[in-house]
Amino acid sequence: MSLEARLSLRRPGFLLDAALSLPERGVTTVFGPSGSGKTTLLRCLAGLERPAGELALGGEYWQRDGYFLPAHRRRVGMVFQDGRLFPHLTVRGNLRFAMRRAGCEEAAMDAPVALMGIERLLARRPDTLSGGEVQRVAVARALLSQPRLLLLDEPLAAVDARRKQEILPFLERLTRELALPVVHVSHSLDEVIRLADRLVLMDEGRVVASGGVTEMFSRLDLPLAQREDVGAVLEAHAPRPLPGYHLTEATVAGQKLLLPGESAEPGERLRVRIRARDVSLTLKPPSETSILNVLPGRITEVVERPDAPGQRLVRVAVGDAALLSWVSRLSAERLALAPGQAVYAQVKAVALA
């Protein structure tokens, strides 16, 4: 049930001209600066705007050659920044409203309620809920509309940092268990790294690039590489806590990597982020060093950023993954760093996503 779209929408001072091809399940996050067209794209997918072009889900056209399927017939679940619950209804009443529109039986409420952990909230009204609780209810309500496509428009933008950490595990669980495509708009890299399977970068109404999250974060030709916090995202497998050291050993790109903390469960798959500024390079295996993570690799690219002429950004292939490293121009010249060169990446810090 892939989603295929080529959409164009003109507004005063703005043109959306975007093409998408998304898989039948998993989370695609649309990321870009304010005004890049992220929310406009979601509104077009939902049928809340009427752009030119084509849109099909699972081979069924929702828009094509003058035909336009209205929003109420698209079976799209949409969650906005503010939740938009009915203030005069309890949580249960809000959920029942969605169920009546979808023709669901009462028992259909059980699964979304359990998935979002809102069993104890059913009798309460929206004005008694925290921001995180409102969003969890809004997601459950969207699921009860029996959607074929779920759209999340910056669902955590209005939630403070503490509440965000409360709701993220529920969204992670949701995105793992749903067998339908999810399109998620966010301006937060932390959300992207935690939730996304696929990343779409937008700027000035156009799709700049799209691909898997680990691939996109390691590309040096994309806007992500221009950020001060540029870094690689890697998948970690088979974590094994090291009791007494507050560390976990995991496998990353075929290499052992020590991660902070001991909270990972055996068999759990983790995602880690390693910032370029936390990676240094050496031509020989280091010895007698306090740095625990040293990964052998091979340089694939060395680039200079226009806004940082005294530095070089180096991409190092490690197995089937990649690390990024900031080095000074002087260091790059002294070590003669160039594509094809074997190096050792010394990782000073690893962040769990």
What distance in Å separates the CA atoms of residue 74 and residue 1, rounded to the nearest whole number? 14
- In this structure, the answer to whether residues 243 and 210 fall within a common structural domain is no
Q: Could you tell me if residue 126 is inside a domain?
A: yes
- In this structure, the answer to whether residues 240 and 345 fall within a common structural domain is yes
**Calculated CA dihedral for residues 97, 148, 192, 154, nearest 10 degrees:** -30
- In this structure, the answer to whether residues 206 and 244 fall within a common structural domain is no
Rg (CA), the chain: 23
- In this structure, the answer to whether residues 252 and 206 fall within a common structural domain is no
pLDDT 10s digits, 88-132:
999 999 999 888 887 878 788 888 899 889 999 999 999 999 888
- In this structure, the answer to whether residues 203 and 154 fall within a common structural domain is yes
Q: Could you tell me if residue 170 is inside a domain?
A: yes
353 has pLDDT over 80: no
Residue finishing a domain among 217, 251, 268:
217
262 has pLDDT over 80: no
Which of 68, 58, 66, 52 lies closest to 19 in space, CA to CA?
Answer: 52
What distance in Å separates the CA atoms of residue 350 and residue 346, rounded to the nearest whole number? 11
pLDDT 10s digits, 221-243:
999 998 889 999 999 988 888 88
Which CATH number do you get for residue 267?
2.40.50.100
What distance in Å separates the CA atoms of residue 113 and residue 95, rounded to the nearest whole number? 9
- In this structure, the answer to whether residues 122 and 247 fall within a common structural domain is no
Into how many domains does the chain fold? 2
- In this structure, the answer to whether residues 239 and 180 fall within a common structural domain is no
Over residues 77-97, mean pLDDT? 90
User: Which helix (H) or strand (E) element contains residue 250?
Assistant: strand 247-252
- In this structure, the answer to whether residues 199 and 238 fall within a common structural domain is no
pLDDT 10s digits, 283-309:
999 988 899 999 999 999 999 977 788
Indicate the SS3 state at residue 161.
helix
Q: Range of 83's domain?
A: 3-217
Side chain identity at residue 38, one-letter code: K
Which CATH number do you get for residue 140?
3.40.50.300
Q: Output DSSP code: residue 260.
A: E
- In this structure, the answer to whether residues 168 and 272 fall within a common structural domain is no
Residue finishing a domain among 165, 191, 217:
217
Indicate the burial class of 158 (C-beta count within 10 angstroms; 0-12, 13-18, 19 or more). Answer: middle
Say if residues 220 and 227 touch (Cβ distance below 8 Å): no
Q: In Å, what is the CA distance from 147 to each residue of 46, 47, 139, 257?
A: 11, 14, 11, 40
Higher per-residue confidence, 82 vs 296: 296
- In this structure, the answer to whether residues 64 and 110 fall within a common structural domain is yes
- Length of the chain, in residues: 353
- In this structure, the answer to whether residues 209 and 273 fall within a common structural domain is no
pLDDT 10s digits, 2-35:
899 999 999 999 999 999 999 888 899 999 998 9
Q: Output DSSP code: residue 262.
A: S
What pLDDT band is residue 166 in, cutting at 50, 70 and 90? confident
- In this structure, the answer to whether residues 170 and 199 fall within a common structural domain is yes
Residue finishing a domain among 170, 189, 217:
217
Q: In Å, what is the CA distance from 240 to each residue of 305, 346, 351?
A: 38, 21, 16
Q: Could you tell me if residue 224 is inside a domain?
A: no
Q: Could you tell me if residue 223 is inside a domain?
A: no
Residue 159: predicted pLDDT: 77
What distance in Å separates the CA atoms of residue 121 and residue 83, rounded to the nearest whole number? 15
Range ranked top by mean pLDDT from 60-74, 174-188, 260-274: 60-74
3-state helix, strand, coil in the chain (%, to 5): 25, 40, 35
Which of 241, 244, 224, 163 lies closest to 29 in space, CA to CA?
Answer: 224
Angle made by CA atoms 119, 120, 123, in degrees to the nearest 5: 100
The tokens 């590309």 sit on which residue?
Answer: 219
Q: Could you tell me if residue 200 is inside a domain?
A: yes
Q: Could you tell me if residue 239 is inside a domain?
A: yes
Q: Output DSSP code: residue 114.
A: H
Residue 50: predicted pLDDT: 95
